[in-house]
Amino acid sequence: MSSQPEAIHNIPKIGFGTARLGGRIIPNRSRETSWLSILNTAFDSGSTYFDTAELYALGYSEELLGRAYRQSNKSRAEIIVSTKAWLNHLSFNSLLRACEHSLRRLKMESIDLYLIHIPNPLIPLKETFRALNLLVHQKKVKHIGVSNFNQKILMEAMDLADFPILTNQIRFNILDKACIENGLLEFCQNNNILVTAYSPLRCTTIFKNETILSISKNHQATPQQIALAWLISHPKVITIPMSFNKTHQRENLEAANIKLSKIEIDQINLI
């Protein structure tokens, strides 16, 4: 395995997810002004790590993100962009084309972090990583990652990658601790692979929990901020909450400054 070129330094603990931005699966271009406004406030609030995918609104999310970036006063070096290739684009030539299409929609020369969105058992992983490795060598992609990989498939991917796998993006929140229970989190930590927790706030029933409310009061924070702070209290875990609300966007970022005590973490672990 080669050393990674242009390593990402200081990747934020809390990024900005774009699922549902631009529409769910079918693009909703009638709300373009509104979509761009949401992204503009995310940039203005201080977000520097943005996660998207070719699946999100069939690439419209990527297009919007690229446009919002160009409207911001950020230099390309100040932001980190990750996007993902869908499972029907994981053959060698198809993945190369998918990457070109994502670059065209983003109007960027390279992707900071390019992920396999979900494994496809019908396409050999060896073929997929042959394309990913080439994309890094061609400098169209700076870093590679995966999403929704279990430990077995992740081990196979590590053997096939010419470059370190930067992250495994998985569902992880206070009510969904499967990655802890099945050992996937520990495996990633031991192998220097970041876990990117998606759906970090899709545990809405927990926000009325007495333990969470008590901890929130102790920190003068919202329950949502405590949920994010709990996630990133785990070593090598980052997260990508999504919000259309400017206030919530700012609060999400501020959650990175909340330091939970060991007692508080243990209390949340028991929920």
Active site residues: 56
CB 140 within 8 A of CB 110: yes
Q: Say if CB 143 and CB 3 are below 8 A apart.
A: no
Inter-helix orientation angle 210-219/223-232, to 10°? 90
Contact 136, 101 (CB under 8 A): no
- Angle, helices 262-269 vs 223-232, to 10°: value is 100
Q: Residue 269: CB partners within 8 Å, gap ≥ 6?
A: none
